[in-house]
Amino acid sequence: KQEVTQIPAALSVPEGENLVLNCSFTDSAIYNLQWFRQDPGKGLTSLLLIQSSQREQTSGRLNASLDKSSGRSTLYIAASQPGDSATYLCAEVGAGSYQLTFGKGTKLSVIP
């Protein structure tokens, strides 16, 4: 069974710092990986999708990378802002699968 792990469960950083969130997965035949943001009591907002043939994707201050050989993805956030405070979830789709398998998320707090 596919498993997705996100460490740490919580992270607190001062405003302006660059930071990296980690996501590891056990499925070597990954199809794609998606990063989401979730604000308290809200649904999920898609941030970036990386196909298995890609190494990274960028959107504004966000950059996500994918390393299938090591089973890892990272989400890099540049120049963090208090508005970035949220829970960040990664989810992978395995080859032959029809569902997203989620990690438990990293709760990010950016301190002004």
Partner 1 sequence: DGGITQSPKYLFRKEGQNVTLSCEQNLNHDAMYWYRQDPGQGLRLIYYSQIVNDFQKGDIAEGYSVSREKKESFPLTVTSAQKNPTAFYLCASNPGVRLNTEAFFGQGTRLTVV
Q: Which residues bind partner 1 (CB under 8 A)?
A: 31-32, 34, 36, 41-46, 49, 51, 89, 91, 93, 97-100, 102-105
Q: Which is nearer to partner 1, 4 or 110 (CB)?
A: 4
Amino acid at 106: T
Name the minimum Å distance from CB 102 to partner 1.
Answer: 4
Q: What span, in angstroms and rounded, lies between the C-alpha atoms of 46 and 49? A: 8
Name the minimum Å distance from CB 90 to partner 1.
Answer: 10
Name the minimum Å distance from CB 8 to partner 1.
Answer: 14
- Cβ pair 97, 91 in contact under 8 A: no
Name the minimum Å distance from CB 58 to partner 1.
Answer: 15
Nearest to 25 by CA among 99, 94, 95: 94
Q: Which is nearer to partner 1, 49 or 62 (CB)?
A: 49
Residue 68 CB coordination number (10 Å): 16
Residue 37 sits at φ, ψ, to 5 deg, of: -120, 140
